[in-house]
Amino acid sequence: MKDFRQLKVWEKAHALTLEIYKATVLFPSDERFGLTSQMRRCSSSIGANIAEGCGRSTDGDFCRFLEIAMGSVTELDYHLLLARDLGYLNMQAYESLQPRVHEVRSMLAPFIRKVSNDRKK
């Protein structure tokens, strides 16, 4: 069992989630159960899946949860674009958040490869 708190990618994912919660506070109230909820859920899913994978007993399980986290990062990337295009996020907020999404994705991809390669050895 690994301590997820020791992983830099989890730390970045957690910080991103906190920023998403702040950014969505000002979304229209009629989006509370729509885009606001979706963005919060997929952003928190990134860190949650990394953490859950750390609690699994095999590298295969860990890799599967990292891949789920990657899917959530990609989903969040789309939701940010949608929120920008709908006018819920201004360009400055979008340009602040989007690179952070890219950073988490860029950290997850090689991590998934490493865990996958380790399990094949």
What pLDDT, on the 0 to 100 scale, is given for residue 57?
A: 85
What CATH number should be reported for the domain holding residue 44?
Answer: 1.20.1440.60
pLDDT-flagged residues of the chain (< 50): none
Range of the domain at 9: 4-120
Q: Which of 79, 29, 68 is nearest to 45 (CA)?
A: 68
Cβ contact 109:69 at 8 Å = no
Number of structural domains, the chain?
1
pLDDT at 2: 83
- In one-letter notation, the amino acid at residue 8 is K
pTM: 0.93
Residue 68 near residue 49, CB atoms below 8 Å: yes
Instruction: Quote the tokens at residue 57.
Output: 């007993």
For position 121, what pLDDT does the model report? 63
